[in-house]
């Protein structure tokens, strides 16, 4: 892992070449001599910094031709103060139409754990806004590290006011408590776009903003998707016009990992699926890679470095994939070329306390189980958003199930179905090469906390539908239902493999930070849950979305009021009061607790019917939460705070971004090898959601 305290210019040039960036490096601080007159209108997407090391950081801007004022050469400088009287590095970089007028600079020779200010200017002296960034602490720095992590911002359907709250609070914090960076775990953009005329009713109770029109897009049902690099670029340009998102990128260094929507909603490798069948999309994957590379300042490594400042798109064609390796990677040449054209998985270090290991959970994965034709007979028709856990385990593991003894048939709904995957290999999310790298990074890390930037979550959300009263439809499978399908809940064998590796290697301080679910969740990760052996080996925290609608909001508006399952998902207290997510209660305490709440309106009566085996792993669930999460990592303790805002349907004019719904902190003390981690809830503020556990649990 590259994180030296001192870096030579030769090494910096080599790194910059692999990242596609120009170089800025100097040895002495001096007063600025660069002509600069701020013209934000000429830099409409603002400025940004990313992937800070202790001695370097990548800086970014975009300077397109505007009102007849063009530029081909940008000057850049980074300084120790906002007046630029102590400039420590400067450089020149070319911008051109080939990179959509974007510019990337690797600024080196910086000092660890320092705040810096930077700016760009064109050859007319017209300048960008001033950006702020922070370098990582030196490798041996023992001071606590604090940062935020976020995911899932849908600018078309909501407001990004959570970022305004984050900046407002950070500016009012003592310097030692300020955030060092923001980890973005994906869905930075949403490629699925509804044109308002195609959906005049909006999305749920949300207004659809007319933010982008794809020049070459494709329409599926009532939404549009990009098909070319110019379409994907237009999407990023539109998102970066959002003032709160732009302010956050100018104020904090970001660390980026993509999820699905940077490419395609149900995408895997280079394939798409819009709810009907698999569609080859190698050319679109390449286009998505190029746009991501051009707009996100990150130390992603390009396969082709012949052009120093550009992503070189490999020549591919859209083709069906027929042959796969043992980990599910499609061997079609265009698929392989597109996937390997940009490597995003990487590790970053923050002092002695934090190694951040980022994995790409979309590019190498096997086709998701529930999107395969062979899964169709196992879909429960009367249970919304639900999947049979036992069927998922059998089909996901393939021939490796039960130690290599998969069943010939699977009982579902009283019928014995042939097991369609009993001779197939287990599914993989990471792919063989990335998985080997990931496990070695966990094993070799010397940091106190091994933090996994895990774009999709591991913690099972499950329900005991088999305990429903006889008046309800009969759950068609033995055991539990699970509510998520294309995250780690759908790749259960590989999840267990990773967690068993952590246990066998005696790894401590293993904590996953996840997004994707649009919900705040905290809990313990174990290779299995009751009635199997529950042995936690780590902890996971899942952040709510910045603005994208979540599962509860969807069910609130789409599940009919007379649907027999509605009380398990949505609680309506009546008397004109807003509905609440009884799904929280169902997942943490079981179906009979949710039904008791619906029947009595009494929280204590509901908890009295709790099933203790449903969720021994969960400490907190809020499927209706939006906002962000902060992490404070010290030598002996991790504190993780969920900062939840009311549903961000519209913008507001408040400096703090608007009111808080609640904030709640969970504490994890560093555990010893062979012992179990513990999650303790502390310091709640505001009105907590319908979690309904008295007293709050400490999970061990």
Q: What is the pLDDT of residues 529-539, one digit of tens each?
A: 999 999 999 99
Over residues 522-551, mean pLDDT: 97
The tokens for 108 are 């080196």
- pLDDT for residue 687: 87
Report how far residue 219's alpha carbon sits from residue 226's, in angstroms, rounded to the nearest whole number.
9
Strands 37-38 and 126-127 come out as parallel
Band (290; pLDDT cuts 50, 70, 90): very high
- pLDDT, tens digit, 9 for 90 and up, residues 86-132: 999 999 999 999 999 999 999 999 999 999 999 999 999 999 999 99
- pLDDT, tens digit, 9 for 90 and up, residues 365-388: 999 999 999 999 999 999 999 999
The tokens for 468 are 């429903």
Give the number of other CB atoms < 10 A from CB of residue 388: 25
pLDDT at 6 over 50: no
Band (137; pLDDT cuts 50, 70, 90): very high
Residue 524, phi then psi, degrees to nearest 5: -100, 140
Look at the alpha carbons of 389, 394, 395, 401 in this order and tell me if their dihedral is positive or negative.
positive
Nearest C-alpha neighbor of 36 from the set 52, 27, 47, 49: 47
The tokens for 466 are 């088999």
Look at the alpha carbons of 403, 405, 411, 417 in this order and tell me if their dihedral is positive or negative.
positive
Query: Are 77 and 29 contacting, i.e. CB atoms less than 8 angstroms apart?
Result: no
Query: Are 475 and 390 contacting, i.e. CB atoms less than 8 angstroms apart?
Result: no
Band (17; pLDDT cuts 50, 70, 90): low
Report how far residue 306's alpha carbon sits from residue 112's, in angstroms, rounded to the nearest whole number.
31
pLDDT at 13 over 50: yes
Band (276; pLDDT cuts 50, 70, 90): confident
Kindly list the structural domains of the chain, giving each domain's residue range(s) and its CATH number in brackets, ordered by start: 1-137 (2.60.40.380)
Band (277; pLDDT cuts 50, 70, 90): confident
Query: Are 372 and 277 contacting, i.e. CB atoms less than 8 angstroms apart?
Result: no
Look at the alpha carbons of 229, 231, 236, 237 in this order and tell me if their dihedral is positive or negative.
positive
Burial group, residue 528, by CB count within 10 angstroms (0-12, 13-18, 19+): middle
- Cα–Cα separations (whole angstroms), residue 141 to 144, 172, 175, 469: 9, 24, 16, 57
Give the H/E segment covering residue 395: helix 389-397
Burial group, residue 384, by CB count within 10 angstroms (0-12, 13-18, 19+): middle
pTM for the structure as a whole? 0.96
* List of residues 6+ apart from 493 with CB closer than 8 A: 393, 396, 397, 398, 400, 401, 426, 427
Burial group, residue 377, by CB count within 10 angstroms (0-12, 13-18, 19+): middle
Bin 572: left if φ > 0, else alpha if -120 < ψ < 50, else beta: beta
- pLDDT, tens digit, 9 for 90 and up, residues 146-160: 999 999 999 999 999
The tokens for 354 are 């934090």
Query: Are 43 and 62 contacting, i.e. CB atoms less than 8 angstroms apart?
Result: yes
* List of residues 6+ apart from 128 with CB closer than 8 A: 38, 39, 40, 42, 43, 46, 47, 61, 63, 119, 120, 121
Bin 216: left if φ > 0, else alpha if -120 < ψ < 50, else beta: alpha
Helix (H, G, I), strand (E, B) or coil at 103: strand
* List of residues 6+ apart from 627 with CB closer than 8 A: 162, 165, 520, 543, 544, 546, 642, 643, 644, 645, 661
Band (4; pLDDT cuts 50, 70, 90): very low
Burial group, residue 6, by CB count within 10 angstroms (0-12, 13-18, 19+): exposed
- pLDDT for residue 310: 83
Report how far residue 626's alpha carbon sits from residue 643's, in angstroms, rounded to the nearest whole number.
8
Report how far residue 500's alpha carbon sits from residue 492's, in angstroms, rounded to the nearest whole number.
12
Over residues 560-565, mean pLDDT: 94
Strand partners, 521: 542, 621
- pLDDT for residue 683: 80
- The answer to whether the bond into 695 is cis (omega within 30° of 0) is yes
Band (5; pLDDT cuts 50, 70, 90): very low
pLDDT at 557 over 70: yes
pLDDT at 674 over 60: yes
Strands 145-150 and 182-184 come out as parallel
Helix (H, G, I), strand (E, B) or coil at 573: coil
Nearest C-alpha neighbor of 372 from the set 392, 390, 388: 392
């Amino acid at each position: 892992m590259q994180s030296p305290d001192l870096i030579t210019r030769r090494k910096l040039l080599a790194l910059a070449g692999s990242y596609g960036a120009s170089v800025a490096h100097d040895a002495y601080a001096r007063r600025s001599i660069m002509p600069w007159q701020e013209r934000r209108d000429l830099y409409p997407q603002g400025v940004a910094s990313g992937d800070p090391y202790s001695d370097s950081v990548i800086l970014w801007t975009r300077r397109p031709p505007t009102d007849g004022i063009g530029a081909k050469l940008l000057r850049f400088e980074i300084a120790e103060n906002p007046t630029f009287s102590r400039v420590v590095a400067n450089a020149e970089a070319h911008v051109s139409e080939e990179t959509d007028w974007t510019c990337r600079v690797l600024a080196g020779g910086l000092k660890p754990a320092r705040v810096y200010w930077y700016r760009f200017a064109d050859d007319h002296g017209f300048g960008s806004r001033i950006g702020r960034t922070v370098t990582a602490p030196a490798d041996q720095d023992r001071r606590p590290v604090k940062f935020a992590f976020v995911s899932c911002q849908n600018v078309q359907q909501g407001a990004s006011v959570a970022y305004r709250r984050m900046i407002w609070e950070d500016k009012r914090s003592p310097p030692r408590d300020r955030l060092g960076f923001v980890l973005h775990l994906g869905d930075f953009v949403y490629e699925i776009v509804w044109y308002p005329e195609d959906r005049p009713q909006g999305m749920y109770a949300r207004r659809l903003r007319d933010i982008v029109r794809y020049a070459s897009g494709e329409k599926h049902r009532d939404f549009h998707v990009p098909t070319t690099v110019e379409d994907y670029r237009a999407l990023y340009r539109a998102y970066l016009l959002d003032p709160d998102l732009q302010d956050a990128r100018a104020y904090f260094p970001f660390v980026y990992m993509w999820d699905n929507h940077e490419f395609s909603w149900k995408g895997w490798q280079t394939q798409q699926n819009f709810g009907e069948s698999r569609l080859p999309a190698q050319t679109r994957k390449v286009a998505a890679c190029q746009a991501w590379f051009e707009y996100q300042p990150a130390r992603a490594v390009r396969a082709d470095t012949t052009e120093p400042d550009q992503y070189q798109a490999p020549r591919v064609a859209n083709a069906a994939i027929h042959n796969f390796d043992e980990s599910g990677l499609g061997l079609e040449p265009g698929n392989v070329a597109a996937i390997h054209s940009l490597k995003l998985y990487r590790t970053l270090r923050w002092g002695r306390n934090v190694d951040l290991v980022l994995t790409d959970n979309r590019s190498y994965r096997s086709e998701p189980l529930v999107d395969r034709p062979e899964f169709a007979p196992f879909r429960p028709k009367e249970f919304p958003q639900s999947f049979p856990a036992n069927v998922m385990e059998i089909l996901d593991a393939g021939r490796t199930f039960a130690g290599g003894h998969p069943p010939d048939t699977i009982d579902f709904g009283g019928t014995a179905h042939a097991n369609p995957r009993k001779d197939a290999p287990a599914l993989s999310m990471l792919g063989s090469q990335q998985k080997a790298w990931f496990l070695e990074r966990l094993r070799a890390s010397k940091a106190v906390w091994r933090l996994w930037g895990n774009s999709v979550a591991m913690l099972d959300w499950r329900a005991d539908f088999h305990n429903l009263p006889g008046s309800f439809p009969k759950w068609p499978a033995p055991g539990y239902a699970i509510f998520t399908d294309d995250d780690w809940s759908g790749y259960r064998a590989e999840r267990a493999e990773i967690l068993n590796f952590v246990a066998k290697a005696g790894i401590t301080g293993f904590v996953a930070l996840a997004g994707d679910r649009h919900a705040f969740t905290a809990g313990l990760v174990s290779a299995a849950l009751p009635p199997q052996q529950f042995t936690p080996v780590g902890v996971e925290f899942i952040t709510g979305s910045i603005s994208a609608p979540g599962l509860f909001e969807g069910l609130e508006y789409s599940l009919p009021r007379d649907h027999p399952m509605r009380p398990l998902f949505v609680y309506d207290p009546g008397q004109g009061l807003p509905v609440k997510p009884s799904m929280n209660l169902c997942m943490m305490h079981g179906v009979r607790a949710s039904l008791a709440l619906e029947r009595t309106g009494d929280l204590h009566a509901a908890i009295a019917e709790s099933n203790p085996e449903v969720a021994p792993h969960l400490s907190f669930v809020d499927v209706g939460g939006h906002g962000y999460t902060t992490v404070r990592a010290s030598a002996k303790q991790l504190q993780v705070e969920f900062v939840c805002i009311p549903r961000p349907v519209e913008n507001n004019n408040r400096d703090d971004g608007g009111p808080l719904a609640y904030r709640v902190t969970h504490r994890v003390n560093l555990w010893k090898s062979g012992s179990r981690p513990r999650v303790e809830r502390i310091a709640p503020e505001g009105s907590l959601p319908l979690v309904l556990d008295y007293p709050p649990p400490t999970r061990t």
